[in-house]
Structure 1
Amino acid sequence: MTTLWTCLLLIALGFIGVPVANADCECGYSLNSTVFTELVESDFTLSGNITENTDWVVQEWEVSKEASKGPYGRNAQAKNVVSNPSVQHNVSAQGVNGDPAGLELFVRRPDDNQDYIGVAEVDSRRTDMIYGTFRAGIKTTGVNGTCGAFFWYLNDTQEIDMEFLSSQITANSSPINLVLHSLLTEERGGDAKNTPTFKVVSLPFAADEGFHEYRFDWQPDKVSFYVDGIWLADMTNSQYIPQSPGKIILSHWSNGNPLWSGGPPEVDAKMTVSYVQGYFNSSLPSRHEDYQKRCKGRQGSLSICPIPDQKGAPKVGAVHFFSQQAGGDKTPNQTVYDKHLLKSLGSGLTAGRDSWVLVCSVLLASVMSLAL
């Protein structure tokens, strides 16, 4: 009945152009003095089926061992990406399958005489991301012979990478590989290790024993890397920093090359991602127009929302999501997946209105049919 009265009120107001609720963050999200206009937040401990999540695309492709530059080819398949939501969201760290909750990305042990290794990749649907701060909660695998990666990507010469090689992880230390792929990488046959935008930082924990937040902040003249809110490194070689829009990728793979991924794994290897957050600018003129419309005339401390830093390893129920905050809409006109509507809200300024039109139309049609 409450929903019906809401629909009738919206119709009485004419709905279009009439603000029916207050919203915060209309003018964006700030990191220090930098404001980003766009937001994507994905809590994979809540999501029930990644194939229904309209903010992400599970990849399926195959590359030969020659193209993969290793003794094995790679075969990305949807079956290697498994949703494992929490048994009790924001309360339990356990997923419905008994393992830690999140999105599971598998590298499969190849059968004897098999030329391909089964791998996993998930890409953001949005490909218009230019500059921003990007974060992911990840628990790496402890199985030797894989590469786990969280990165921004346009092509092989414009890429910002945070990568784990499971062969390097020990009980006390986890080296993380920080990479900007550029034309220098291409000139050196795809190997960035001897370029000025490759750094290895040893982390003082075993990355396969729990979740940690991996983050990079991308600006036109600098890329900064963090783990659990602690700064690791800056890369300021501006000629190698990407200046074009792209997307976010989560991947877990192996091609058996001893110079990088190693492997293949002797058993199926799993990397788990609990969340991804991206606060960024868009390259799309339509999104620029939307921003101008929603921000026009807005003032006050709530029109721009500061992005909190993660302090320490992310704990269950303690990770901040604007899209999960009570007491007002903090993601106006943003791309935020709603599992109940099975769509992303906020692709345009009228997206929230259109969702209500759909709900009201169905409800009023039902009432009219009963009246007749």
Structure 2
Amino acid sequence: MGPYERLPSLSISGPIINHRRCECGYTVNSTNSSSPFALFTDFLETDFLHLYTLPDSIDVPASEAVGWAVQAYNITPSGARGPYGKAAEIENVVLNPLHSRQDWTGEGKLGGAPGLQIWVRGQEDLLGPMGEQMVRSGEIDSLRRDMRYGSFRVGMKMSDVPGTCAAFFWYRNDSQEIDMEYLSRQSNGSSPINLVIQSPASAEANYNAINTTTFRVQDLPFNPSTGYHEYRFDWTPERIVFFADGQLLQEFENTFNGDAPDAPRTLMLNHWSTGNPGWSGGPPAQDAVLTLSYVKAYFNSSNATREDEWRGVCAGDSWQGRTCQIPDFPSQGIDPQNTVDSGKTSFFMYESGNVNQTLYPAASSAPGLYTPGVFGWKAGFIFSLFLL
């Protein structure tokens, strides 16, 4: 047994190895009935309920200088395919943690729902001249660029202000993307979520997946704006499966004309609006907020040296008994605004002595170390311009 087949990616130097109980990876034992077992070698967990500072310098110790990058970019209306463009701004990503590290319930330090806030600003606060106006929004991207197959989970409370899109997705390019998108304008009692796999077929349709075989609208069994819920997708070579609060939403077999994503890249979360009446709607009449309580990503690295190291330690059947099963969605839910400790969920990173096994120097585009599973953010911010 081993991790899924890799594609060569980063060029890195030798790893630093710490032998721990999860050193051979993290398992999903019930992705679905026809694929009862999946093993992933790496993890990246972030507890936004207890994230109190963002580094402001790349001089922060390397163990803290990893995780996520707050994005800053402008996209014109024509590039954003809407009446308005997108302006992702650092100030629209705001920390609102619980009052202490011992708390798992209550309001954030700024009041209201605790966690990481990603704001879309209202229609009275647009950026740019008339005819080229952009809606102010926010985005965070993982610094890991080597994620290829995995189980990806986020705890979120959606906005109840119509006119925004909240997205949790793995992204390589506009024709290789796995996406869960919530459109607040669609909240009418059924609370649908859009499950999208962007493919060459959707690119040929002007990047509109609606008429392809890899687009579904699925009603959620809850109102996503009144509490926190977990959104998840599992991606393996055989299939892509979507979940909400641990319940199956939709399964796509990876047999759709060879268009399934199969190359490595990045996990992203954003909250935005372009005024497109066929998608995000808006701009919102007032400021709208998306709140994150955690991200838990368990995945395989496309890094050839990383996989060689794994095989050296976990070859043959030696991995058995040296993996950790990823916990199921907790029966009490994950909402930190409910009862005592109701926001408490399992993190491998909080177990005594259980840091991830391997530290890698980062590629030149991301200073610091790749340290899967360590609580932290990249020091400083990445400013980038995307012309989509």
Contact 1:51 1:57 in 2 (8 A): no
Structure 2 residue 169 is the aligned partner of structure 1 residue 151? yes
Residue in structure 2 matched with residue 251 of structure 1 by the alignment = 270
* CA deviation vs aligned residue, 1:211-267 (integer Å, no higher than 9, x gap): 000000001120000001111110114222100001100000000010100000011
Residue in structure 1 matched with residue 150 of structure 2 by the alignment = 132
Residue in structure 2 matched with residue 232 of structure 1 by the alignment = 249
Residue in structure 1 matched with residue 237 of structure 2 by the alignment = 220
- Specify the structure having the higher radius of gyration (Cα): 1
Partner Cα distance (1:103, 1:264) in 2: 22
Residue in structure 1 matched with residue 137 of structure 2 by the alignment = 119
Structure 2 residue 327 is the aligned partner of structure 1 residue 308? yes
> Where does structure 2 lack aligned partners over 5 or more consecutive residues?
1-14, 30-36, 57-64, 336-341, 361-366, 375-388
Which residue among 122, 125, 134 is the counterpart of 1:109?
Answer: 122
Contact 1:29 1:37 in 2 (8 A): yes
* CA deviation vs aligned residue, 1:154-210 (integer Å, no higher than 9, x gap): 00000000000000113x431000000001111111111111100011012110011
Structure 2 residue 306 is the aligned partner of structure 1 residue 287? yes
Contact 1:38 1:334 in 2 (8 A): no
Residue in structure 2 matched with residue 356 of structure 1 by the alignment = none
Which residue among 333, 347, 363 is the counterpart of 1:321?
Answer: 347
Which residue among 71, 74, 83 is the counterpart of 2:86?
Answer: 74
SS, match of residue 241 in structure 1: coil
Which residue among 253, 268, 281 is the counterpart of 2:287?
Answer: 268
SS, match of residue 210 in structure 2: coil
**CA positional deviation for 1:311:** 3.3
Contact 2:42 2:356 in 1 (8 A): no
Residue in structure 2 matched with residue 142 of structure 1 by the alignment = 160
Residue in structure 1 matched with residue 53 of structure 2 by the alignment = 49
**CA positional deviation for 1:298:** 9.4
Deviates further, 109-118 or 79-88:
109-118
* CA deviation vs aligned residue, 1:281-340 (integer Å, no higher than 9, x gap): 0111121233245546995864111111113531444311100123x42533268xxxxx
Residue in structure 2 matched with residue 169 of structure 1 by the alignment = 187
Partner Cα distance (2:199, 2:172) in 1: 11
* CA deviation vs aligned residue, 1:60-86 (integer Å, no higher than 9, x gap): 110110111111111111001011111
Structure 2 residue 84 is the aligned partner of structure 1 residue 87? no
Residue in structure 1 matched with residue 20 of structure 2 by the alignment = 23
Q: How does the TM-score come out when normalised to structure 2?
A: 0.77
Deviates further, 106-115 or 64-73:
106-115
Q: Pairwise CA RMSD of aligned residues?
A: 2.6
Structure 2 residue 113 is the aligned partner of structure 1 residue 96? no
Residue in structure 1 matched with residue 3 of structure 2 by the alignment = none
SS, match of residue 169 in structure 2: strand
1:300/1:124 CA distance change after superposition, 3 Å: closer
**CA positional deviation for 1:343:** 6.7
1:18/1:156 CA distance change after superposition, 3 Å: closer
SS, match of residue 291 in structure 1: helix
Contact 1:24 1:332 in 2 (8 A): no
- The correspondence of residues 158-197 of structure 1 with structure 2, limited to 5 A, is 158-170=176-188, 172-197=189-214
Contact 2:24 2:319 in 1 (8 A): no
* CA deviation vs aligned residue, 1:63-120 (integer Å, no higher than 9, x gap): 1101111111111110010111111334323211012111100011133765111011
Partner Cα distance (1:61, 1:77) in 2: 7
SS, match of residue 23 in structure 2: coil
AA paired with 2:140? V
Residue in structure 1 matched with residue 39 of structure 2 by the alignment = 35
**CA positional deviation for 1:34:** 1.6
Partner Cα distance (2:355, 2:82) in 1: 46
SS, match of residue 82 in structure 1: strand
SS, match of residue 358 in structure 2: coil
Size of the aligned set, in residue pairs, is 323
Contact 2:144 2:370 in 1 (8 A): no
Partner Cα distance (2:203, 2:166) in 1: 21
Q: How does the TM-score come out when normalised to structure 1?
A: 0.80
Partner Cα distance (1:308, 1:91) in 2: 18
Among all aligned residue pairs of Structure 1 and Structure 2, give the percentage whose two residues are the same amino acid.
41
* CA deviation vs aligned residue, 1:350-372 (integer Å, no higher than 9, x gap): x9xxxxxxxxxxxxxxxxxxxxx
> Where does structure 1 lack aligned partners over 5 or more consecutive residues?
1-16, 336-341, 352-372
